[in-house]
A = this chain, B = another copy of it.
Amino acid sequence: MNTKPKTIAIDGIDKKILRVLTEDARTPILEIARNVGISGAAIHQRLKKLEKSKLLSGSKFVINPKVLGYSTMAFVGVYLDKAANTDDVVKALRRFPEVLECHFTTGNYNLFIKLLSIDNEHLMHLLNKNIQSIEGVLRTESLISLDQQIDRQILV
């Protein structure tokens, strides 16, 4: 099975389109067209090409967790016991909406997760009650983010 993605030729106009749309996904195509100086139909076709190549994999409105009261972000290394079924652990983690990312990683941890909590008390509850009680989880190690200085996508 060939899982290697198609390489795709991206020129300066594609880059402009991508940079505008990664900043604001609802920017009208015609506005981009006026800015780069080619027709709306051309931008439209380029967008289709970029979507077909999978370089653009969709668009999302961004929710600000702070407004929902989530003020604490943490990274948690998870140790599993040897007999643990990793897929089941991930499935269990997925049930907690606070878990935003979950990675299989090299190194000491089996899993590495990024999560949000309301406050430190909520974080403690998530770790000690929710996550620790998942079958197969031995222990966790946490790193609390006091402030996030960089948050972005890869540049094109």
A residues whose Cβ falls under 8 Å from a Cβ of B: 5-8, 18, 21-26, 53-70, 73, 75, 77, 90, 93-94, 97-107, 109, 112-113, 116, 142-156
Shortest C-beta distance, A31 to chain B (Å), equals: 14
Q: For the complex formed, measure the closest distance between the CB of A155 and the CB atoms of chain B, giving whole angstroms.
A: 4
Name the residue on B nearest A8 (C-beta).
B67
Closest B residue, CB atoms, query A113:
B150
Shortest distance between the CB of A90 and any CB in chain B (Å): 5
4 cross-chain pairs, A with B, having the tightest CB-CB distances, nearest first: A102-B150, A25-B25, A25-B59, A103-B145
Residues B99 and A150 in contact, CB atoms below 8 Å apart: yes
Q: Which of B97, B106, B154 contacts A70 (CB 8 A)?
A: B154
Which residues in B have their C-beta under 8 angstroms from that of A67? 5-8, 53-55
A100 pairs with B150, CB closer than 8 A? yes
A138 CB to nearest chain B CB (Å): 18
Contact present for B107 and A143 (CB under 8 Å): yes
Verify A151–B24 contact, CB threshold 8 A: no
| 5 sample A-B contacts, Cβ–Cβ < 8 Å, listed by A number | A56-B63, A70-B154, A100-B151, A100-B154, A104-B147
